[in-house]
């Protein structure tokens, strides 16, 4: 489907170039940009699900309405998503293509690859209603397959080098609540676990996934938490209490995110270096959920594209309500941030204080790495 071609990407880069002139923003570009790998769910899927038999997809309008090509690519955004904006910030020539894209071959493999798949979670039983999606264990298998292909292209030594210098992003966990534990009343997992025990279980399974990534060669792994899940337009519409956020899902986020950072801290201590970098996306989101106008949004409660209360019910389709100006909405659809919100998040990831980033922001990490390589 409509993945950005090199010709499109020229305009894509120019557009970003103009928009990236943000005061105080540090952008470090190394001569040869490092490879970038992406794992996780719809917040970072750039189109893998286009190639799968699943209902979790974003390959038809109005998705992509503000993308450089103005076409739906499979990104769950009106325009760019978080991986696109990180790619740009680290000086990559283009964002990594979805692993399932037939265009991902030859030298383009050296840019990296995006293995993410909308609907997946930490657990295999998350998102079962979406049928054929790429679960985490499978994303890791694809990563191994990718490495074999790169080895065949540039040899073992250069491949090790490419992996050693690469940046990896993983965003997963939200669906383990929304599309598993809280999917239906009395779900299997909610009967098995009280919420605090479920969170502990998720964190221990997530830790295994992160260690697998490390063993597969990932040296710098940016790990994002979940957003304030109870405050997304979908939850406001479905279980909001008196027009407020869903208390249960807010509780889930407030248990999960601190334990995630604690786990990253523990892993880094064990490994003796900062392999894992935590982004407090809950806090970043909460900033503009609690004070939207300070960030140029008219609302964070109503999705730009959707229907029903808060435009929070069902899917974003051509038949949905669509806001005329996507830049003034924090949420593009009932679950996913707008490009504008993604931009604010990536700005914090790159240059935020330690209130937002553990143990430090990405531009500092990148600067440290370019001094040692």
Ligand X SMILES: *[C@@H]1O[C@H](CO)[C@@H](O)[C@H](O)[C@H]1NC(C)=O
Residue among 28 and 161 whose Cβ is closer to ligand X: 28
Q: Which two tokens stand for residue 108?
A: 């383009």
First to last CA, the chain: 37
Query: 310, 233 in Cβ contact below 8 A?
Result: yes
- Contact range with ligand X by CB under 6 A, out of 96-104, 212-220, 221-229, 349-357: 349-357
Structural tokens at position 312: 């929070």
The token pair at 56 is 């979790």
Shortest separation between residue 345's beta carbon and ligand X, angstroms? 14
**Could you give the CA distance from residue 364 to residue 357 in angstroms, rounded to a whole number?**
11
Residues 308-347 that bind ligand X (CB under 6 A): none
- Sequence-distant (≥ 6) Cβ neighbours of residue 253 within 8 angstroms: 177, 225, 226, 227, 228, 229, 230, 282
Per rule CB under 6 A, is residue 360 in the interface with ligand X?
yes
Judged by DSSP in three states, 189 sits in helix
Select 103 or 125, whichever has its Cβ closest to ligand X. 125
Do the beta carbons of residue 38 and residue 86 sit within 8 Å? Answer: no
Q: Say whether residue 153 binds ligand X (CB under 6 A).
A: no
Sign of CA dihedral 261, 266, 270, 272: positive
212 sits near ligand X (criterion: CB under 6 A): no
Interface with ligand X, residue 180, by CB under 6 A: no
Least distance CB 136 / ligand X (angstroms): 8
Per rule CB under 6 A, count of chain residues that contact ligand X: 9
For 32, 40, 123, 270, the CA distances from 53, given in Å and listed in that order, are 37, 18, 20, 40
Residue 73 engages ligand X in binding (rule: CB under 6 A)? no
11 binds ligand X (CB under 6 A): no
- Assigned token pair, 353: 């204080």
Contact 126, 136 (CB under 8 A): no
| Candidate list 59, 141, 205, 287; residue touching ligand X; CB under 6 A | 205
For 119, the token pair is 């609907």
The answer to whether 351 contacts ligand X (rule: CB under 6 A) is yes
Binding residue (CB under 6 A) for ligand X from 11, 29, 93, 124: 124
As beta bridge partners, residue 37 has 113, 168
> Judged by CB under 6 A, does residue 175 bind ligand X?
no
Closest to ligand X by CB, 364 or 370: 364
Secondary structure letter of residue 242 according to DSSP: T
Rank residues 7 and 353 by Cβ distance to ligand X and give the closer one.
Answer: 353
Pick the piece of the chain touching ligand X (CB under 6 A) from 36-44, 158-166, 212-220, 357-365. 357-365
Q: Return the SS3 of 89.
A: helix
Separation of CA 107 from chain center: 25
Q: Is 364 in the site for ligand X (CB under 6 A)?
A: yes
Task: Please list the active-site residues.
Answer: 42, 333, 336
Q: Which is nearer to ligand X, 46 or 351 (CB)?
A: 351
| Residue 287 engages ligand X in binding (rule: CB under 6 A) | no
Closest approach of ligand X to the CB of residue 25, in Å: 8
Can residue 159 be called a binding residue for ligand X (CB under 6 A)? no
Min dist CB 108 to ligand X, Å, is 29
Nearer to ligand X, 124 or 148 (CB): 124
Residues found near ligand X in the complex (CB under 6 A): 124, 137, 205, 351, 353-354, 360-361, 364
């Amino acid at each position: 489907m409509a993945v950005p071609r090199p010709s499109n990407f020229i305009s894509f880069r120019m557009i970003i170039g103009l928009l990236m002139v943000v005061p105080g923003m540090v952008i470090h570009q190394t001569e040869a940009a490092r490879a970038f790998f992406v794992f996780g769910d719809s917040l970072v899927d750039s189109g893998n699900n286009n190639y799968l038999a699943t209902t979790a997809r974003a390959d038809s309008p109005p998705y992509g309405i503000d993308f450089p090509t103005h076409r739906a690519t499979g990104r769950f955004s009106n325009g760019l998503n978080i991986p696109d904006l990180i790619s740009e910030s680290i000086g990559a020539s283009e964002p990594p293509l979805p692993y399932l894209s037939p265009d991902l071959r030859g030298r383009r493999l050296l840019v990296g690859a995006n293995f993410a798949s909308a609907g997946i979670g930490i657990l295999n039983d998350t998102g079962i209603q979406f049928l054929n999606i790429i679960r985490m264990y499978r994303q890791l298998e694809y990563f191994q397959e990718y490495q074999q292909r790169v080895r065949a292209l540039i040899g073992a030594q250069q491949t090790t080098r490419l992996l050693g210098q690469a940046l990896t992003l993983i965003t997963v966990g939200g669906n383990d609540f929304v599309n598993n534990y809280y999917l239906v009343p009395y779900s299997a997992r909610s009967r098995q676990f009280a919420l605090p025990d479920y969170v502990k279980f998720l964190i221990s399974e997530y830790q295994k996934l992160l260690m697998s990534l490390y063993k597969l060669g990932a040296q710098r792994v940016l790990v994002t938490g979940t957003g304030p899940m109870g405050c997304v337009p979908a939850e406001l519409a479905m279980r909001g209490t008196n027009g407020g956020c869903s208390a249960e899902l807010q509780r889930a986020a407030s248990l999960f995110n601190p334990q995630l950072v604690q786990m990253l801290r523990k892993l880094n201590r064990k490994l003796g270096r900062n392999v894992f970098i935590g982004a407090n996306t809950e806090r970043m989101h909460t900033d503009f959920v609690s004070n939207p106008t300070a960030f140029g949004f008219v609302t964070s409660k109503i999705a730009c594209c959707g229907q029903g209360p808060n435009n929070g019910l069902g899917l974003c389709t051509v038949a949905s309500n669509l806001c005329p100006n996507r830049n003034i909405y924090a949420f593009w659809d009932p679950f996913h941030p707008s490009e504008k919100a993604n931009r604010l998040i990536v700005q914090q990831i790159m240059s935020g204080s330690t209130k937002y980033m553990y143990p430090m922001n990405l531009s500092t990490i990148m600067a440290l790495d370019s001094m040692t390589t």
